[in-house]
Structure 1
């Protein structure tokens, strides 16, 4: 099921102006790791977890920060120089991560 979701996500992104690149997203995410964690699980208390987030969510939020529709002291500065390709690559990378939820006993 996860592989089907990744395939559909990849196809969805491919319909845009340019196809997202998973490995490029991984490389670009190194800059995000300071707050959002190397594995997409936030290490900064005010940063959200990005691992497993839907591609459309990550894409829209990065675009909102880039345009100023959404503001945050750090993200507004970081998102400004991102290209559409950067955003697509990052969104594909984070959406490709699998997150497992376990219930506490």
Structure 2
């Protein structure tokens, strides 16, 4: 019975999104280095760099984790992998929350 309640609790937290949500304010503080390529407000002035403003948080998290783990190798991976390598999972969630909130 305890197992059923534990599973139900995890499902409820995942459905609400609160278990995975990052801190946008912490992400903003961490995002300064991103501005060099992606723009101060998440809109890149350079066509080869994608805009981050308004992207879905889950997409941004997946992309950063893939760069960090060496699973994303095309395009700008040579620049992004070293940037992502120093990020914790919390940093990634916070950055994703920040850029998705813009």
Q: Decide: shared fold, TM above 0.5.
A: yes
Cα RMSD (Å) of the superposition? 1.2
Structure with greater helix percent:
2
Write out per-residue CA displacement over residues 40-79 of structure 1, whole angstroms, 9 at most, x where no aligned residue. 0013332100000001110000000000000211001100
Extract unaligned runs of 5+ from structure 1: 1-10, 98-105
Paired residues of 1:20 and 1:88 also in contact (CA < 8 A): yes
Q: Which residue of 1 aligns with 2:80?
A: 75
Deviation at 1:20, TM superposition (A): 1.6
Is 1:15–2:19 an aligned residue pair? Answer: yes
Q: Which residue of 2 aligns with 1:54?
A: 56
Paired residues, number? 84
Extract unaligned runs of 5+ from structure 2: 1-15
Could you tell me which of 19, 31, 41 is aligned with 1:39? 41
**Greater relative CO (CA pairs within 8 A, separation 6+):** 2
